[in-house]
Amino acid sequence: MHVYGRPAVFSKSVIFATAFMSFFSVVIALFKDIPDIVGDKIFGIRSFTVRLGQQRVFWICISLLEMAYLVALSVGVTSSCIWSKWITVIGHIVLASLLWNHANSIDLKNKNAITSFYMFMWKVIHLHDPVQQQPFYAEYLIIPLVR
């Protein structure tokens, strides 16, 4: 494949961003059904949450995100650029720790707690730009530093 007569090259940060955001998209798709289990059951929707249960799907989602952070740490550790290595590793340790600590405090019987955690996941990944009044992903702060 060529772009403007040159071979297309996918950088480490592009491959990383694609993989990480793909994991995040799967988690969001699975997680959004957790608080809706009652409605899904009433309307006969056989979501993963209905079939596997809230707790199992919740921990599958957390595990997938933590695996994505583990891969991110591995990518950071293998960086040849020392400042990129430190920022990537520390940034992902912080985000993974925030996610893990908050996940362990959730009452899965409380719909408001589940919804609050869903919004927390967006805040871990999704921040708000006060200047432009537009959202951006916290991960986007780290992705350009992946080398």
pLDDT of res. 61: 94
pLDDT value for 133: 44
Distance CA 8, CA 131 (A): 35
List Cα–Cα distances, 60 to 29, 50, 115, in angstroms: 12, 14, 17
Residue 19 CB neighbours (<10 A): 14
Q: What is the tens place of the pLDDT at every residue in 102-141? A: 999 999 889 899 988 888 777 666 554 454 444 456 777 7
Instruction: State residue 57's pLDDT score.
Output: 96
Kind plus residue range of the DSSP H or E element containing 110: none
- What pLDDT digit, counting tens, does each position of 50-72 carry? 999 999 999 999 999 999 999 99
Looking at residue 53, what is its pLDDT?
A: 95
Question: What pLDDT is recorded for position 44?
Answer: 94
Percent of the chain whose predicted confidence (pLDDT) is above 90? 37
Whether the pLDDT of residue 21 is over 80: the answer is yes
